[in-house]
């Protein structure tokens, strides 16, 4: 009987140990890290990280100094990938002028070393969060950017668009194997910002560069600058464009993102002019602000014709509505070209 009792105790101890080993670890979280609700989710994540680090950077300064306020990228079929499917490396570099550095890991699921990259990303994020640095990544849920708010022994916790469909944690082995099959994970750390003159000059130089749709920044089938509006207009003039899957969604999404960007372009130019306070530049800033304000207002008209939440399928077959949108896009295109010419004048002085 004594032997049976000893045996029972041993069994209980072993079982208790196994249960303890299987018990899920508590998540390690950056409790105050959140996401700024911009349509431009890349900027939303970066602003959320900056706010977490208590860095005093205005929304307009972030959009403009990183160059994103001046970007437009439209696909010939109005694909919803337009706002995110371009080479963002220069905006990362310009971020150092704002006062932050971004380090990250990028891979495609077809890469031979993809599993290794997933593991590197997992290690990088955990080390960063343990050190108090915020992270963000691509497609932790839908194909958009999300801040990574924490981790446990299974995977990532995150925050971003469409919270009602969040499924957390996302197992770390699944990151990069979602719909788009791209692995993008970044850690953001503060650094000393550049002086305002350098920041403004380099941001506007980038705006001029990307407006020419260079192959190193803009992918095949997409256009930037005034040519982006031409693609947009041509698509709306095509009677069958909205028979393409996701064209209507892509059309509305492009409107939201690029309207937001141009609104912040206006505010950035105002802030830049005030910061630099150089009389020689005043008239050029006023000229640029006027043109980009016209762009923003024209895009807003298109948004009002095709509102995000209340558009009906019949709206996209309404030729009168489409013609009004085309007219507004033509005004935006011409104002964009004039705005770029004004930016060149500022750069020439700087």
- Give the domains, in start order, of the chain with CATH numbers: 28-56+100-190 (3.90.70), 196-349 (no CATH)
193: nearest Cα among 343, 61, 68, 67: 61
Interstrand relation of 182-190 and 145-151 (parallel, antiparallel or unpaired):
unpaired
117: nearest Cα among 171, 182, 168, 169: 182
Q: Roughly what angle, to the nearest 10 degrees, separates helices 279-305 and 247-276?
A: 160
3-state helix, strand, coil in the chain (%, to 5): 55, 10, 30
Q: State the Cα–Cα distance between residues 76 and 81, nearest whole angstrom.
A: 11
| pLDDT (0 to 100) of residue 23 | 55
Q: State the Cα–Cα distance between residues 211 and 336, nearest whole angstrom.
A: 10
**Residues 36 and 51 sit within 8 Å (Cβ to Cβ):** yes
| pLDDT (0 to 100) of residue 272 | 98
Q: State the Cα–Cα distance between residues 159 and 83, nearest whole angstrom.
A: 19
Query: 346 φ, ψ to 5°?
Result: -65, -45
| pLDDT (0 to 100) of residue 24 | 63
| pLDDT (0 to 100) of residue 20 | 43
Interstrand relation of 28-29 and 182-190 (parallel, antiparallel or unpaired):
unpaired
Q: State the Cα–Cα distance between residues 108 and 181, nearest whole angstrom.
A: 6
| pLDDT (0 to 100) of residue 25 | 76
Q: State the Cα–Cα distance between residues 135 and 343, nearest whole angstrom.
A: 33
Lookup: tokens for 200: 């403004």
Using 50 as the pLDDT threshold, list the residues of the chain that sit under it: 1-22
**Residues 72 and 253 sit within 8 Å (Cβ to Cβ):** no
Instruction: Give the Cα-Cα-Cα angle 101, 72, 164 (nearest 5 degrees).
Output: 70
Count the residues in the chain.
Answer: 350
The torsion region of residue 220 among left (phi > 0), alpha (psi -120 to 50) and beta comes to: beta
**DSSP string of 172-240, one letter each residue:** GGGTT-SSS-EEEEEEEEE-PPPPHHHHHHHHHHHHHHHTT--TTTS-TTEE-HHHHHHHHHHHHH-TT
Q: Which residues of 53-83 are buried (b: 16+ CB within 10 A; e: fewer)?
A: bebebebbbbbbbbbbbbbbbbbbbbbbbbb
Q: State the Cα–Cα distance between residues 260 and 265, nearest whole angstrom.
A: 9
pTM score > 0.75 for this model? yes
Q: State the Cα–Cα distance between residues 148 and 137, nearest whole angstrom.
A: 7
Torsion of CA 101, 41, 203, 274, to 10 degrees: -100
CB 216: neighbour CB atoms within 10 A? 9
**Residues 189 and 62 sit within 8 Å (Cβ to Cβ):** no
| pLDDT (0 to 100) of residue 313 | 86
**Residues 320 and 306 sit within 8 Å (Cβ to Cβ):** no
Question: What are the tens digits of pLDDT across the range 262-283?
Answer: 999 999 999 999 999 999 999 9
| pLDDT (0 to 100) of residue 135 | 98
């Amino acid at each position: 009987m004594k032997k049976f009792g000893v045996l029972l105790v041993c069994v209980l101890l072993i079982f208790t140990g196994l249960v303890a080993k299987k018990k899920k670890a508590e998540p390690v979280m950056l409790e105050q890290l959140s996401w700024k609700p911009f349509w431009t989710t890349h900027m939303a994540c970066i602003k959320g990280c900056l706010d977490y680090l208590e860095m005093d950077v205005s929304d307009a300064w972030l959009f403009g100094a990183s160059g994103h306020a001046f970007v437009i990228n439209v696909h010939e079929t109005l694909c919803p990938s337009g706002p995110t499917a371009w080479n963002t490396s220069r905006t990362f570099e310009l971020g150092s002028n704002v006062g932050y550095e971004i380090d990250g890991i990028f891979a495609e699921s077809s890469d031979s070393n993809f599993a290794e990259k997933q593991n590197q990303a997992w290690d990088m994020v955990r080390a960063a969060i343990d050190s108090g640095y915020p992270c963000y990544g691509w497609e932790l849920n839908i194909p958009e950017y999300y801040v990574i708010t924490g981790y446990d022994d299974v995977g990532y916790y995150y925050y971003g668009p469409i919270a009602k469909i969040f499924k957390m944690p996302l197992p770390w082995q699944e990151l990069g194997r979602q719909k788009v099959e791209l692995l993008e994970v970044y850690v953001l750390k503060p650094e000393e910002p550049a002086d305002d003159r350098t920041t403004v000059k380099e941001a506007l130089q980038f705006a001029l560069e990307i407006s020419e749709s260079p192959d190193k920044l803009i992918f095949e089938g997409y256009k930037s600058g005034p040519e982006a509006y031409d693609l947009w207009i041509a698509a709306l003039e095509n009677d069958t464009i909205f028979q393409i899957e996701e064209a209507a969604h892509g059309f509305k999404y492009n409107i939201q993102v690029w309207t937001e960007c141009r609104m912040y372009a206006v505010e950035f130019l105002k802030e830049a002019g005030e910061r630099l306070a150089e009389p020689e530049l005043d008239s050029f800033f006023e000229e640029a602000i006027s043109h980009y304000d016209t762009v923003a207002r024209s895009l807003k008209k298109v948004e009002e014709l095709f509102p995000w939440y209340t558009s009906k399928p019949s709206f996209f077959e309404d030729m009168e509505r489409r013609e009004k949108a085309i007219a507004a896009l033509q005004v935006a295109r011409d104002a964009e070209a004039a705005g770029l010419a004004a930016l060149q004048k500022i750069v020439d002085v700087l």
